[in-house]
Amino acid sequence: MPQPKVKLVVTGDDFGYCERRKQGIVDCFKAGGISNVSLLVNAVSAEHAAELAKRNHIPIGLHANLSEGLPVSQDLKGSTLLNKDGFFHGKMGFREVLQSGQLKTSEVEAELRAQVNRFCELVGHMPYHMDGHQHVHILPEVREVFAQVLSDFGITYTRVPIEPGLKFCTFLPPRLRDFNAQVEKDALESIEVFHRHGIRWPDVYLGLSTMGKKMSVSSLKRALGFTLEASLDDRVTSPLIQSNDAATDSYCPVTAELMVHPGYPSQPHQGGCGEGPDDFSQSADRLHELNTLRDPLVLNYYRQQGIHLCAFKDF
């Protein structure tokens, strides 16, 4: 069998968010559309999701959540992480509190450690990787604490969301382009921190330009084209390279992660992380991603192009 050109981790985020999202992710894995999942341990279906991962031998990591729902730590009463109702501040609210200088990083650390421990209780082993729900892990100040927690627990891999070609995706709505640009800026500034703590990540990240309705067979091919074009020489000189393998081996495939959010859409008032499901989870986009990822045209494209789906634990 020829060596793969690309080792691609296709990660289904938000595993455990609700019964329907969870089942859709499992069905996508069984169909060969994803190869890895990221678990929300504070979500309502987290426990059953962990059981399904064990039963179906699904590689699993931790989707650290500091922005949606209830905390895992029992020691955060009156915390700067929480609003007056005891919930996290939300995707943008978390960023606003952080920018105001009011967030206590000691509380961020306590919650991250509690989530890792909860993951181990549910799954029975350490996460194979750990990333951040809504990209909170790369935010200023948070990234230092996040990297230290990973280092302390011996979690090797994370996600660095810098997507090649993203700046040319003018088809994305202006607000989303602005948010993605900030995500990439934060990610670039996280590289030195993660390097310093010995944290690694795949050579290429994909997923910001292919979310929801923007995901199609052609958009996935476009995004993956950047990965296929990444030559060994490019990777050796890239600031993202973390491994010495490329310098010592005569052959080393490009590694990549594709972030996806497949599933059957949440029903109103069912699921979430303590406040019910959000619009993102109730959107028909979740089913659209599920059907696109398991489309035979996509799966055949992987085989034709030498793209081998794998998990972080396979690196």
Confirm whether 85 is domain-assigned: yes
| CATH number of the domain within which 301 lies | 3.20.20.370
Distance of alpha carbon 128 from alpha carbon 37, whole angstroms: 10
Closest to 58 measured CA to CA, from 79, 35, 27: 35
pLDDT per residue as tens digits for the range 92-133? 999 999 999 999 999 999 999 999 999 999 999 999 999 999
Is-contact 301 217, C-beta < 8 A? Answer: yes
pTM of the predicted protein model: 0.92
Is the per-residue pLDDT at 175 higher than 60? yes
Q: pLDDT: is 161 or 3 the higher one?
A: 161
Confirm whether 243 is domain-assigned: no
Q: How confident is the model at residue 42 (pLDDT cuts 50, 70, 90)?
A: very high
pLDDT per residue as tens digits for the range 271-289? 999 888 989 999 999 999 9
The catalytic position among 13, 14, 203, 285 is 13
Confirm whether 246 is domain-assigned: no
What type of residue sits at position 43? A
Overall number of domains in the chain = 1
Structure confidence at residue 45 (pLDDT): 97
Q: How confident is the model at residue 154 (pLDDT cuts 50, 70, 90)?
A: very high
Domain ranges, residue 28:
6-237+252-314
Residue 132: CB atoms within 10 A of its CB come to 23
Confirm whether 166 is domain-assigned: yes
Q: How confident is the model at residue 236 (pLDDT cuts 50, 70, 90)?
A: very low
Q: How confident is the model at residue 233 (pLDDT cuts 50, 70, 90)?
A: very low
Distance of alpha carbon 111 from alpha carbon 116, whole angstroms: 9
Q: pLDDT: is 247 or 39 the higher one?
A: 39
Distance of alpha carbon 202 from alpha carbon 315, whole angstroms: 9
Range 7-35 average pLDDT: 97
Closest to 61 measured CA to CA, from 114, 123, 8: 123
Is the per-residue pLDDT at 312 higher than 90? yes
Q: What proportion of the chain, given as a percentage, has pLDDT over 70?
A: 93
Whether 285 is catalytic is no
CA–centroid distance for 288 within its chain: 19
Is the per-residue pLDDT at 176 higher than 70? yes
Structure confidence at residue 238 (pLDDT): 40
Structure confidence at residue 250 (pLDDT): 56
Q: How confident is the model at residue 294 (pLDDT cuts 50, 70, 90)?
A: very high
pLDDT per residue as tens digits for the range 57-76? 999 999 999 999 999 999 98
Confirm whether 13 is domain-assigned: yes
Confirm whether 247 is domain-assigned: no
Is the per-residue pLDDT at 220 higher than 70? yes
Is the per-residue pLDDT at 242 higher than 80? no
| Mean pLDDT rounded to a whole number for the chain | 92
Confirm whether 178 is domain-assigned: yes
